[in-house]
Amino acid sequence: MRIARFNYKSKQDWGIVKDSQIIILKDSPFAGVELTSEKIPLDKVKLLAPGCAAGKIVLTGLNYRDHAKELGMALPQEPVIFLKPATSLIGHGGNIIYPEGVSRLDYEAELALVIKKTGRNIPEDKAAEYILGYTCLNDVTARGLQKKDIQWTRAKSFDTFCPLGPWLETELDTSNLKIASYLNGGKKQDSTTANLIFSANYLVSFISKIMTLLPGDIISTGTPCGVGPMAAGDKIEVEIEGIGLLTNQVARAS
């Protein structure tokens, strides 16, 4: 089942994507999936980031074996996590704004998940019960600032630096999914989630022992090898098997 958050005629709603239509939900999916009889053509809506704007975004660094090898770094013994603010979220089709003063802007294709219900100290074998669905994420990074600063907050937190979408897939085995990124149609990243060091379920459990997870919170699982720079005017796409394609343009601030 694919769950989308969208804007239609200046109103935000949640719905189920089926073929070329969206069937509107009676309430948010965190309250349960109850369909209405109202349907909207998919090409008539603006897809929004399928997470709660008031929630938190927890990301994982150096979580692919091929990426660690690419960087010549040892595999981490425990997850390296960091945060992005909710103000960095944009949806499928939104513009990534290239900030003034940034010398290099990178794409990072990632598998992300959205939390379904409140959880604390979640056992790994129960983690799936707390996941609403999975989606594509682009961990946009100001690489020069990341290298300059001691911590990563500034480099990761500009507005529009967290494209997410196009929707949530609720039924997915994440153990061996193809994950790729495309810059202007050319493949740049090409890997599989079998290269993950820490699984999605492990990350949910690990993070829940640090902070309470709330409905709508987003957890991202890290990026594989092949990250690289983008320029204004570029089209960047993240594709994950079983989910679909997240597409965004890079634009200069107006």
- Same domain? For 214 and 91 the reply is yes
- Same domain? For 96 and 149 the reply is yes
pLDDT digits (tens, 9 = 90+) for 99-146: 999 999 999 999 999 999 999 999 999 999 999 999 999 999 999 999
Banded model confidence at residue 212, pLDDT cuts 50, 70, 90: very high
Tell me the average pLDDT of the chain: 96
Residue 54 has pLDDT above 80, yes or no: no
Residue 217 has pLDDT above 90, yes or no: yes
* Per-residue confidence (pLDDT) for residue 210, from 0 to 100: 98
- Same domain? For 17 and 62 the reply is no
* Per-residue confidence (pLDDT) for residue 110, from 0 to 100: 98
Q: Return the closest-CA partner of residue 47 out of 215, 250, 248.
A: 248
Looking at 47, 65, 83, the residue that finishes a domain is: 47
pLDDT digits (tens, 9 = 90+) for 148-162: 998 899 999 999 999
Indicate the length of the chain as a whole number. Answer: 254
* Per-residue confidence (pLDDT) for residue 68, from 0 to 100: 85
pLDDT digits (tens, 9 = 90+) for 182-192: 999 999 999 99
CATH number of domain containing 43: 2.30.30.370
Residue range(s) defining the domain that contains residue 4: 1-47
Domain count, the chain: 2
* Per-residue confidence (pLDDT) for residue 53, from 0 to 100: 72
- Same domain? For 12 and 77 the reply is no
- Same domain? For 99 and 16 the reply is no
Residue 244 has pLDDT above 80, yes or no: yes
- Same domain? For 32 and 65 the reply is no
- Same domain? For 203 and 184 the reply is yes
For residue 41, the surrounding DSSP H or E stretch is strand 35-41
- Same domain? For 24 and 135 the reply is no
- One-letter amino acid of 128: A
Percent of the chain past pLDDT 90, that is, above it, reads 92
- Same domain? For 43 and 123 the reply is no
CATH number of domain containing 136: 3.90.850.10
How is 131-199 classified by DSSP, letter by letter?
EEEEEEEE--EEHHHHHHSSSSHHHH-STT-EEEEEEEESS--TTS-EEEEEETTEEEEEEEGGGBSS-
- Same domain? For 114 and 190 the reply is yes
pLDDT digits (tens, 9 = 90+) for 75-101: 999 999 999 999 999 999 999 999 999
* Per-residue confidence (pLDDT) for residue 73, from 0 to 100: 86
